[in-house]
Amino acid sequence: MSVVIVLQQGLSVLLVLAGVVFLAGGTLGLVRLPDLYTRAHAASKCDSVGAGSILLGLLFYGGVAFEDLRLVLLVFLVLVSGPTTAHALARAGFRTGLPVGRARERDDR
């Protein structure tokens, strides 16, 4: 196994692991945080950083080929759509007067 392949796959594994950490953290935040705003914030980490770096990791795994352009497109799509969704959710919540930090009490009813 040549040095290049070791570096390549090492980078790939690191990126995927980073993505897993962000996905786990985002999911935990979605379950545990108190209101829509903080939850949207946590969940958008899953999309942009979590899925994004997993996709980047997959891009490097087998060496970059032309076919992998699709993964780049996917990263772009995820980076554009994820934050937009979080923005739209938080904005809609704010404009309709959703209170900050009160969702948990209602959940437990």
81 is a site residue for another protein (CB under 8 A) = yes
69 is a site residue for another protein (CB under 8 A) = no
Residue 40 C-beta: closest distance to another protein, Å = 14
CB 48 within 8 A of CB 19: no
Residue 86 C-beta: closest distance to another protein, Å = 10
Cβ proximity to another protein: between 13 and 80 the closer is 80
Binding interface with another protein (CB under 8 A): 77, 80-81, 84, 87-88, 91-92, 95-99, 106
